[in-house]
Amino acid sequence: MAQHKSAEKRARQTIRRTEVNGARISRIRTFVKKVEVAIASGDQEAAKAAFREAQPEMQSGVTKGVLHQNTVSRKLSRLSARIKTLSA
């Protein structure tokens, strides 16, 4: 348990940050899942639209510090590649 005022404050802030970051990650997962569903349905236009919505959400995760830049780049690249294969 925290013994000093500053440590108590840090404990409170950590709880709040954890909630906010969890919500951000959950929101990103939801957008990615929409892209996955569109890809599974085979509709390239819907997949592209969902991808365009998911892209800024994922990048904001990098800006806010909940995801690493390389992770987001890798996931976006793989989703984009899967969308391109729908046209073939």
CATH number at residue 77: 1.20.58.110
Contact partners, residue 46, CB within 8 Å, separation at least 6: 38
Find all residues with CB under 8 Å of 51, minimum gap 6, and list them: 35, 79, 80, 83
Question: Of the candidates 85, 88, 83, 84, which has an alpha carbon nearest to the alpha carbon of residue 39?
Answer: 83
Structural domain boundaries, residue 9: 5-85
pTM for the whole thing?
0.87
Dump pLDDT digits (tens) for 26-50. Answer: 999 999 999 999 999 999 999 999 9
Question: What percentage of residues in the chain have a pLDDT greater than 90?
Answer: 93
| Inter-CA distances, 44 with 35, 64, 83, 88, Å | 10, 30, 6, 10
Q: How many structural domains does the chain have?
A: 1
Model confidence at 2, pLDDT cuts 50, 70, 90, reads confident
